[in-house]
Structure formats: C-alpha cells, structure tokens
Amino acid sequence: MRNKKIESFNFNIALTLLLLFCVSCFAIYAAQQTGQYGTNFVLRQAVWYGIGAVIIAFAMRPDLDQLNQFTWYFYGFNILLLILLIVSPSSIAPLKNNAKSWFVLPGIGSIQPSEFMKIALVLALSKVVTKHNEANPYRDMRSDIVLIVKLSATLFVPILLVMQQPDLGTTLVMVFLFFTMLFISGITFKLIIPIFSSIVAIGVLLIYMVLYHAPVLEKYLKVQAYQFDRIYAWFKPEDYAGSLSYNYMQVLKAIGSGQIVGRDSSYGAVYVPEKHSDFIFSAIGENYGFLGTSVVLLMFMLLIYHIVMVAHNTKDTFASYICTGVIAIILFHVLENVGMCIGMLPITGIPLPFISYGGSSLMSSMFLIGLVLNISYRSKVYMFDQR
C-alpha cells in the first residue's frame, strides 16, 4: 500500500519545484550583493518554501468531490478578505506604492489577499464551466451566452475589489485566467472571435489614447495622470531615463551586462530597485547570462508540460479545468515578468513565480501546485484506457 502511494506521487513536478527553489536562493543571494539590502532574504525565502511545503501537503488532503463542495466557501472567504482590506485602517492595511493591497500582521509580516483570490477564482471558474457543460450536453448559441454571463459574474466581484486597491498586475492575471477558461470551455468560435477581436481593438485604442489624448481619459474616465507613467516609460524609455523609466533602464543594463555566461565578477553589480522580487530575472541575467536565463525558462516549460500531462491523464473534467487555470496563472506570470524585464511589456509589478522573493506570492503558487499534485495523485491511468 505504501509503495502504491509513493508511485502515485508526481516526482517530476516535485523535482522541478526543487530546482526552482535552488534557482530562487541563488538569484536572491546574487540580488543582495548590490548593497541596498540589510536583510538576508535567502533565509526568509527558505522559510517561506518550508511553509509552502506544508501548504502543498494541506492542498493534497481533500479529494476532488470535497474540493468541489469547498469551492464557493473558499471563494466567499476570499471576497470577504478583499472587502476587509478596503475598509481596514491604515494601521493594519497601510498604503504602499499608492496601493492598499496588504495586511501587515505583527510577527507574520505582509499578507496579500488578492494572491489567494486567484486560487479561489481558478476553483470557481472551473466549477462554473464543469456544471454548465454537464447541464448542457448539446451546445447552442444561447447556452454559450449563458456560460459567458456566468463566468463574467464570477469574475466581476473579485476584479472590482482588486481594482479598488488598485492592483493592475493581479487584475491582468485574473482577466487572462478568465479568457483562458472561456476559450477552453467549448463555446463556439462565432462568439470567441468577436470577443477577442473586440478586446484587442479596445486595448489598442486605450494605448493610443494614453499616448496622444491622455487629457480626454483624465476628464471623462477620471484616470489619474500618474497611472499613465508606465505606458510612457515603456514606449519612450529614453525620454524618461532619469525618472519614469529608471527601473526599466537599470533592468536592461543589468541583463545586458550578463551577456552569454554572466558578468565579470571584477565589475560591480548593477543597481536595480526591488531586484530580489519583481526584477529577480535581471539578477539571473546579470550573473548567469543568456545561458542562465534560458535554463530558468526551460524549467518553467518543464513544469507547465508536467501539469499538461496531469490534465491529460485525469478523467475528471473539474480537475482538468483546475490544471488549465494553474497553467494560465503560471504562464501569464512568467511571460509578463520576463517581458517587462527585457522591454517587451510595460512594468506591472508581477513577480516571477517560485523565484521572486515574497511570502504571499509563493504560498499562492505552492497551493496551486498542491492542487495539481492532488489531482495527479488521485488519477489512475490504465494501459488499455480509451481516451
């Protein structure tokens, strides 16, 4: 019995996670060499990983039926946390970087509720799609529209609360998760094509308005001028090198200095603000070069591949949608974080999963991996299965 339990555990995902832990420690240690830190974040990250291991064990305990029944309670609890965050006094929910996104708890540190809302949203959207498809085995335009309304209603409250903080990064993650679940839900392309075309058109229009008609947005949409800064810094970094695009230019300088195999140790490290967290990819590029960053990206590809295989092997539809949601969150985090570090995307403050320093982000990511390991552990594949 014990041998069967050991064989059921997905050691591929566990090994990949262990490698990412090692990368995280090396990268954070390298980031600390610029002299801007007085705290040993490597030790703290190791502690968070230890807590994350406990979280994985916790996430693997309930079976899929229990997860299904637990979903709306967990969703509601996280909605309550987001509401409490908004109404809490500054003594326990201070304003940081113009955002009220964290609870500061004595003896524990900062906790970001929106990170755990992403987990709840994965479960909730998966449940909505599963239940709807079970109730509508024969799809038509009407049932697809109903599903879009259900998914939109599930997304509306959490995204509204997160935008109140405001937290653009988490908002974008939730939107990407929503459209991923919508895309794989089975709705007709007669709806998918106009929806995605409209989103692209709106995005292009907003960027155009920000660049050339910002006063109109400020007047009619009540958008503050400082909220356009990251767009300006992204499109015209040289014009704002000493102010808005300072972080952006320093990150590019750090990654560029690494060249192929990492910078010469005789030269000093490039100063990058928040190098151990949001811009950890710059520390990897600077110290280990193109080869180091390529290996890290390969690790993420392997992790996503193993999650895809778990989704492929499970016979439970709800479980496969959960795996898809986890892939969407990890993929968006990696693409956005790496993209903003190499200048392909604007800076949004999204961490690199499993590598950036941060308790809430790491615990959320470990919980998601715990769900995947849970699904993998309870999935049985037989030689003559007809899939």
Domain layout of the chain by residue ranges:
2-378
For residue 127, the model assigns a pLDDT of 95
Per-residue three-class SS string for the chain: CHHHHHHHCCHHHHHHHHHHHHHHHHHHHHHHHHCCCCCCHHHHHHHHHHHHHHHHHHHCCCCHHHHHHHHHHHHHHHHHHHHHHHHCCCCCCCCECCECCCEEECCCEEECHHHHHHHHHHHHHHHHHHHHHHHCCCCCHHHHHHHHHHHHHHHHHHHHHHHCCCCHHHHHHHHHHHHHHHHHCCCCHHHHHHHHHHHHHHHHHHHHHHHHCHHHHHHHCCCCHHHHHHHHHHHCHHHHCCCCCHHHHHHHHHHHHHCCCCCCCCCCCCCCCCCCCCCHHHHHHHHHHHHHHHHHHHHHHHHHHHHHHHHHHCCCHHHHHHHHHHHHHHHHHHHHHHHHHCCCCCCCCCCCCCCCCCHHHHHHHHHHHHHHHHHHHHCCCCCCCCC
Each residue's pLDDT expressed in tens, for the chain with a length of 387 residues: 444 555 578 899 999 999 999 999 999 988 887 766 667 889 989 999 999 999 999 999 998 899 999 999 999 999 999 999 888 888 788 877 777 888 887 766 778 899 999 999 999 999 999 999 988 888 788 888 999 999 999 999 999 999 888 788 888 899 999 999 999 988 888 888 888 888 889 888 888 887 777 777 776 665 666 667 777 777 777 766 666 678 888 888 889 888 898 887 656 778 888 888 889 999 999 999 999 999 999 999 999 999 999 999 888 999 999 999 999 999 999 999 999 888 888 888 789 999 998 888 999 999 999 999 999 988 754 444 544
Output the average pLDDT for the chain. 85
For residue 124, the model assigns a pLDDT of 96
- Model pTM score: 0.90
